[in-house]
């Protein structure tokens, strides 16, 4: 089975591009983030026409998550218990479903904006609440096959960014964000792509501006944190830079996982 995660940066702008990519790479399950699309406008037909079922959750022009699968999408759940709200709203940042026995999450972690912005505290709270619930679930069922896939908006190590100095005073690299990410690893989840995509200079996001992609000035912020039972099945992973290089591409590249 082949599982992937991709921040698509608007599904309406590139649904055909995404489905063509899934067909080309024989993707069975794709977790998508930043669909930027309310549910009543989601281009479900693009997926259904190619044999993919799709579950989606979007409330407007921001955020939005979805899971497309050709091996079933069952027990769809929106958000998670204890999910913090922002300015009174539960944002569309989490969806989960069971696909061929794997509990797949599509997660769009809040950006944080600036370290002194309320959004930053919201980001830390959001990650903490998610770590609480997912770690608890894993402790209750250590054999569970779970993939916490998505755009984590955290660069866990200095090697995960092109220039540490560039991010001085900004989000994504701060110690509290890294500690929030590490809590998932402490809870038993594993960065399953890591061993197959060694750095340095290996990224999943490149800003549209300033020719960042052409100069390979990027960040590694997209991950699937997998339970041990699922990690045991993963025998390969890669970041598809060609998808980022395409005309009209998202600013993120997909991360692909091959399971036995």
Question: In the set 31, 162, 251, 255, which binds DNA (CB under 7 A)?
Answer: 251
Which among 9-17, 97-105, 133-141, 181-189 is the span making contact with DNA, rule CB under 7 A? 9-17
CB of residue 116 to DNA, shortest distance in Å = 14
* Helix and strand numbers, DSSP H then E, in the chain: 6, 12
CB of residue 44 to DNA, shortest distance in Å = 15
Question: In the set 5, 145, 171, 192, which binds DNA (CB under 7 A)?
Answer: 171
Name which of residues 34 to 93 contact DNA (CB under 7 A): 34, 36-38, 60-62
Instruction: Please compute, for residue 95, the number of CA atoms within 13 A of its CA located in the half-sphere on the CB side.
Output: 27
174 near DNA, judged by CB under 7 A = no
Element (H, E) at 48: helix 44-48
CB of residue 217 to DNA, shortest distance in Å = 11
Sequence-ordered strand ranges (E) for 74-205: 74-78, 94-99, 102-108, 146-151, 190-191
Per-residue contact track with DNA, 132 to 161, x per CB under 7 A?
Answer: -------------------x-x--------
Cα distances (Å, whole numbers) of residue 220 to 49, 55, 111, 132, 258: 32, 26, 14, 24, 19
């Amino acid at each position: 089975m082949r599982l992937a995660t991709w921040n698509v940066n608007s599904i309406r702008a590139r649904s055909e591009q995404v489905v063509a990519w899934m067909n080309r790479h024989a993707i069975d399950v794709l977790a998508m983030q930043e669909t930027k699309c309310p549910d009543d406008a989601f281009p479900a037909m693009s997926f259904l026409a190619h044999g993919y079922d799709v579950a989606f959750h979007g409330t407007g022009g921001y955020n939005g998550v979805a899971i497309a699968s050709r091996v079933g999408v069952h027990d769809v759940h929106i958000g998670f218990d204890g999910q913090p709200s922002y300015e009174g709203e539960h944002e569309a940042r989490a969806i989960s479903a069971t696909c061929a026995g794997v509990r797949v999450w599509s997660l769009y972690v809040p950006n944080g904006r600036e370290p002194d912005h309320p959004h930053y505290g919201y980001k830390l709270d959001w990650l903490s609440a998610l770590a609480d619930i997912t770690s608890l679930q894993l402790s209750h069922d250590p054999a569970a096959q779970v993939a916490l896939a998505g755009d984590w908006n955290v660069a866990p190590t200095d090697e995960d960014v092109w220039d540490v100095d560039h991010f001085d005073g900004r989000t994504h690299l701060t110690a509290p964000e890294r500690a929030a990410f590490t809590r998932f690893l402490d809870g038993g989840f594993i960065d399953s792509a890591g061993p197959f995509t060694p750095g340095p200079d290996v990224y999943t996001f490149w800003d549209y501006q300033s020719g960042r992609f052409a100069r390979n000035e990027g960040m590694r912020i997209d991950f699937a944190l997998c339970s041990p039972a699922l990690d045991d099945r993963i025998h390969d992973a890669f970041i598809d830079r060609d998808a980022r290089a395409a005309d009209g591409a998202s600013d993120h590249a997909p991360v692909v996982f091959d399971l036995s």
